Amino acid sequence: MSQTGEVQVPLLQTEEADGEWSSKPRRIALFVEPSPFAYISGYKNRFQNFIKHLREMGDEVLVVTTHKGAPEEFHGAKVIGSWSFPCPLYQNVPLSLALSPRIFSEVNKFKPDIIHATSPGIMVLGALAIAKMISVPILMSYHTHLPAYIPRYNLNWLLEPTWSFIRCLHRSADLTLVPSLAIAEDFETAKVVPEYGFGIRV
């Protein structure tokens, strides 16, 4: 761990040298659920700023998100709205699998270098399937720590199934990002990935 609190992790390997990869404009397909344009949440500004930053760096960005309130483009990034439905347990949160032939065609035509998907949710499953089908690496960024919320609703019996889902999901990722060292420690305790491989900023 560095003195700044960042855990050092290897970059995704490519055929190019690290310097070439870091300076070369990338093509990034970003799957975000719920929408960073319509749903008011803690990461709305974070993802909007992230998209702006990628575009300012010269990267090409395709955003796939839930359909309601999705613009056609955002700071030069094309936005694809995927049909969504309300979360059964929390009606204000729209969910979408984002695995329709239309979504697949758009992503395949875009030819991303990498897919970045938010987790947990169900859109990340669609993103994972598409990443496997077109053979590109997938990065998953974890945002809502479900195991911390479950006890508040007296649903402790859901804890282990939830961790099992998280393990299955993130072991399929090429890289996982978590928002804090505390969550990284929870992931390590729950053996979410076989080796400690997180990019963390606190």
pLDDT tens digit string along 18-49? 444 456 889 999 999 988 887 676 777 889 99
Residue partners of 85: CB distance under 8 A and separation at least 6: 94, 95, 96
- For the domain made up of 25-200, give the CATH fold: Rossmann fold (3.40.50)
Structure tokens at 36: 């960073």
In this prediction, residue 77 carries a pLDDT of: 97
The residue ranges of every structural domain in the chain are 25-200
In this prediction, residue 44 carries a pLDDT of: 79
Decide: helix, strand or coil at residue 86: strand
The dihedrals phi and psi of 198, each to the nearest 5 degrees, come to -125, 145
Residue 34: DSSP 8-state: S
Q: Is the peptide bond before 34 cis (omega within 30 degrees of 0)?
A: yes
pLDDT tens for the chain, 202 residues: list them.
Answer: 333 333 333 333 333 434 444 568 899 999 999 888 876 767 778 899 999 999 999 999 999 999 887 899 999 999 999 998 877 767 677 789 999 999 999 999 999 999 999 998 899 999 999 999 999 999 999 988 888 888 888 888 999 999 999 999 999 999 999 888 889 889 888 888 765 444 433 3
